[in-house]
Structure 1
Amino acid sequence: MCDKVCAECQEPADLNCSGCRMVSYCGKEHQKKHWKQHKSLCRPFIIEQDEAIGKCLIATRDLNPGDLILTEHPIVSGPTPHMVEEGPVPCPGCYRLIVGEESPRCPNCDFPVCDTRCPGLQDMEHHGHECMILALRDISAINGLHDFYRQDTLLSLRCLLLQKRHPKKYAQLMDMEAHLERRGKGTDVYNEVQDRIFNYLDDNFFRPLKCMEMKTGKSILPDTSKETIHKICGIIDVNALEINQYSEMSVLYPTAYLMEHSCVPNTVHTFDLVSQGYKINIRAALPIKKGDHISTMYTHALWGTQGRREHLRETKYFSCSCKRCSDPSELGTNFSSLLCMGSNEEPCGGLQSPINPLDYNTEWACNKCQIRLTNGEVSYLVNRIGEEVDNVQLSSPTVRELDALLTKMATFLHPNHYHCYAVKHSLIQLYGYQQGYMPSQITDETLNRKANMCRELLEVTKKLDPGNSRLPLYSGVILHELHLANMILVKRKWDLGMKTRVKGMLAMLQECNQSLAEAKEVLKNEFTTPAGEKLNKVIATSTHEFNRWLERNKIDLNKN
């Protein structure tokens, strides 16, 4: 007997929707009739088991950029785990970063909070329920000072609380991959979880909770075993998404976690506001064909191949072999390539790239001479340069300091290398803003250099992130700075009466117009982040000023 019912007439049905396979029909006629209602809800993917990667999402129809793929609310959310002993921590009610020593305390459990009136403190889905357990700790035994740096335990505790409050959600959670075989006894991660999470929770909260449960005869947390907590910590590490907008939090979603990783992802995701429960919206960033895997990115797009793959291997327990990782040139950008020094201190002008980027012990070969380097030698050189870049960037550098650093790196690294990219991106934001390089001071030559630097950065960024899914803020900044460099030059020549060079100026104005339009487009999904909101306002202001300048000078770019 059929146990499915038709979505239209509620009669027995054996015909599934081919798009999402989530609803059934008694026949084609009712399927067509119900389509108008089902169309907006039909998920354009199915969940399949892949031998190599496990569960994954497969597109069931062609998708265009912007098409909605999935929208869903979290299973559970909490402050992002911080395995550090210093620095700000997220408020357990709203996740906004606070300084633990100086912040107010929750009047019930003594955890640091942004404000004792924070709405999230009373919300049972956030802090309200856990607060009753956290209050079991004997604060007087530690002179009233709460160990607030153990906020990395809160998300694990909230997962445990699903057992009684939301058993279906708890079952969904526990069905996620934890990679316990890679996190077993004797590993560093096992010891870290055992000490910072399990021992802390068990000593301070679970033991007094069990005493209370025995007295009342009521079970609040049926399972607080070591094995369960290690599994939950593994699930969080492997599957949680981090949200860094007005807050800092980690979230576990019931379906979104199944998106596989690619260093060139074909989706972009945004999060709704707090009032809407951090609902995730996943849309196509690139054209997705029926049968394609739906992917996101678990690491940073502006890391080199070696860094990305090592991070994924250490934190997600797999080795990426996507098209970017497989390509020694990283999609033609040479984002990790070195300049060959040749032999006898005579550079040959070639490039050193990994022979097989998917081999962690690969050699690096020159494309012009016979010189080869070991992966260890390359790592040592690049890490040393990276340390110097970090030290300079963190010291509020001047234009001259960054210029000097870029000149130094040009001896060893390809101009598009990720260390060069980072320094150039900082430089374009100092040209025109720093004393000695203000708009009235900066030379034409430096403005042209800034504009060319912006064009180079754009070319690399578009290759690494063709769908604007991971680097829209970087692209938005570059496009805006290109517009500014051109406009300073144009206004300077225009004010000097050099209108005879109008052809060249019109080309620059066209590029200004195009840059502002592109910036608006790449930032269309960034209104919910503080940085994105600010940059969008800057782009809107510059666009308004640019159009007013065109009107005052009676320039119609559509006619030229």
Structure 2
Amino acid sequence: MQSLSEKVKIVKNSTTPSRHLVAIAELSPGDVILEEQPLLVTPHWECEQMKCSQCLQDSFVMCKKCEFFPLCIDCTTHNTYDCDFFCEGAAGAEISKNLLVENYTIFGVLKLLLLMENPANSEQCAALSATPGATVVDSEAWQEQDTQIVTPLLQSGIARVFKRVKVTHELLHTLCWRIDANAFEVTASDGNTLKGVYACGAQLPHNCVPNTVVTFDEDFRLKLYASVRIPVGAVIYNTYTNPLMGTSQRQHELRLTKGIECACARCSDPLELGTHMSSLKCTKCANGFVVCSAPIRDVGIWKCNNCAATMATDVVKQLLVDVGEALLETNSELLAYESLLAKYSVHFHQNHFVLVEIKQNIASILRAILMNPMCIPGKDLLERKLQLCEEMMPLVRAVLPGVSKLYGIALYEYLLSYMELAELIFEEKAAANAAQIFQEKLEDARDIAAKAKEMLRFEPSNSPEGHLVSRIAMEQKRIEENLRQLNSKRSCA
């Protein structure tokens, strides 16, 4: 089910039941650290369309043997243990054959219960249950899971069928949380997203500046690569938050979804590794930025790093509330986002995460416009797209060093607009040395394409990022063809 590199070992935490990976030999960028098949792949809780228990494609029929689990028209069998469980023990207990049909939300938890009940999976399930859990809180999510998953399972009478697992209200809630906390998002062959749980992958500790990159192939097999050089003795980290969020937002998400506190170098640094992604402009001096002295809990003093002037925490929070509400009122309109960006740029550092979010929305709209076959791209739109990319790419580099799919995607976006603008300028032939300028830009584009491809080189060919690699290769051919034509014209001249 899993294969570990000889350059790492599993180390048990001395104070908690959790385990993690440590490098016992230096790892270079691109070294494979872990390969692992999923312990469980399940639809998201809100998924209403039943999925085949074998291949996870849309299902409209049931297994003819157990008459309990859904299958697609191409699959005739599924997990033997699961099938036999509902042919034998569950049948004698008179569990309704329509339990899944009527309550499909229970699928993931039920599958995890069956894995725990099956002696063949005891070691993997024990490793998963060794990961620390969060304190169960009577939250909105808890209430929904209690209504849609826990109660239907308990009322079905299925608890009395399990022999190795004691099915209780508390256990079911814990399993709901473990699936949410430990799952990676994986993509099915039909493009739908699912949740994949990996026994070893679930134990990777979090860091807001990870030293690894994760990929998944068409069979949901996880591959973990070193994204940077990892020295001997270093812990292997993954990241479980959006790296373009500010510290307080990342901390909130980690507490909510993982039940953990992060004290990494980025979270502990008021300047966020020099990116200023949570900094505000000082109202008392021209060159200062107001930062929080205790960013992890967001309870410190907000003080200017230049003149030491302070800003009330309530003022900072109100600014964030105001911009959040304003974002909801934009109706995804380009001019509304641009107006919002101009308005709040006087309050926040240009790298502040709320401005980054606005810039991402603007870039997304520009991408849709420029990709429209009916659109003839103008210089102003292309230059604006390039400007946004140039502002955001250094941030991505700072928080995701080394091999990074997010940086690879950003480079690809930049490449497309860079090429369009270079060709547009060349066609206008506004400069006397237009051909020379075009060649220089093509050579720059060649380097950008190569770097983008390098960032995405580990992505499976069938993944969204893998498809980008094919598109980058097409752009490379386009670049080389343009260069060939330029050289041919010079030879003829």
Q: Tell me whether 1:330 sits opposite 2:272 in the alignment.
A: yes
Q: Deviations over 1:127-186 (max 9, x none)?
A: 7567766993275xx9xx9445x42x2221112112443x242343134246457127x6
What is the correspondence of 1:87-236 to structure 2 with a 5 Å cutoff? 89=49, 91-93=51-53, 104=60, 106=62, 116-119=72-75, 122-124=77-79, 128=83, 136-137=95-96, 146-148=101-103, 150-151=104-105, 153-165=106-118, 167-175=119-127, 176-177=129-130, 179=132, 182-183=135-136, 192-206=144-158, 210=160, 223-236=166-179
Query: 1:186-232: CA deviations, max 9, x gaps?
Result: 6766655444332111112516xx4xx6xxxxx67753233433443
Query: Given that residues 262 and 320 in structure 1 are in contact (C-alpha distance below 8 angstroms), is that contact kept between their aligned partners in structure 2?
Result: yes
2:414 pairs, out of 446, 459, 479, with 479
1:123 alignment partner AA: H
Tell which has more relative contact order, 1 or 2 (C-alpha 8 A, sep 6+).
2
Q: SS where residue 238 of structure 1 aligns?
A: helix
Query: Of 276, 279, 288, which aligns to 2:221?
Result: 279
Query: Which of 522, 526, 547 does residue 480 from structure 2 map onto?
Result: 547
CA distance in 2, matches of 1:112, 1:480: 47
TM-score, length-scaled by structure 1: 0.74
- Give a deviation string over 1:449-478, Cα, whole Å, max 9, x none: 433332222212111211234524642443
* Amino acid aligned to 1:415: Q
Contact preservation (8 Å) 2:10, 2:22: yes
- Name the counterpart of 1:13: none
Could you list the runs of 5+ residues in structure 1 that have no partner in the other structure? Answer: 1-39, 214-218
Give the CA RMSD over aligned residues. Answer: 3.7
* Deviation at residue 367 of structure 1 after TM alignment: 2.7
Aligned-partner residue type, residue 170 of structure 1: S
- Contact 2:54–2:78 under 8 Å retained in 1: no
Alpha-carbon distance between aligned partners in 2 of 1:318 and 1:81, rounded to the nearest angstrom: 22
C-alpha contact (below 8 Å) 2:41/2:195 kept by paired residues: yes
Separation of aligned partners in 2, 1:97 and 1:331: 43
Q: Is 1:401 matched with 2:401?
A: no
Q: Secondary structure at the match of 1:47?
A: strand
SS of match in other structure, 1:237: helix
1:417 and 2:352 matched: yes
Unaligned 5+ residue runs, structure 2?
Answer: none
Q: What is the 5 A alignment of 1:311-326?
A: 311-326=253-268
Q: Residues 498-539 of structure 1: CA distance to partner in whole angstroms, max 9, x if unpaired?
A: 342566544433321211111211222334555324423332
Distance verdict in 2 for CA 1:223–1:57, change over 3 Å: same
The reply on whether 1:243 has 2:191 as its aligned counterpart is no
Q: How does 1:255-404 map to 2 (within 5 A)?
A: 255-274=200-219, 278-342=220-284, 348-392=286-330, 395-398=331-334, 400-404=335-339
Aligned to 1:62: 26
- Bigger mean CA deviation after superposition, 419-428 or 353-362: 419-428
- Which one has a bigger Cα radius of gyration? 1
Matched-pair contact (CA < 8 Å) for 1:60–1:290? yes
Between the aligned partners of 1:270 and 1:432, the Cα distance in structure 2 is 25
Residues 534 and 545 of structure 1: CA distance in aligned 2, closer, same or farther (over 3 Å): same
Do 2:415 and 2:449's aligned partners in 1 also have CA atoms closer than 8 Å? yes
C-alpha distance 159-532 of structure 1, shift in aligned 2 (>3 A): same
Q: Is the CA contact (8 Å cut-off) linking 2:39 and 2:197 kept in structure 1? A: yes
The size of the alignment, in residue pairs, is: 478
Sort the Cα spacing of 1:317 and 1:61 in 2 relative to 1 into closer, same or farther, 3 A: same
CA separation in 1, counterparts of 2:488 and 2:208? Answer: 43
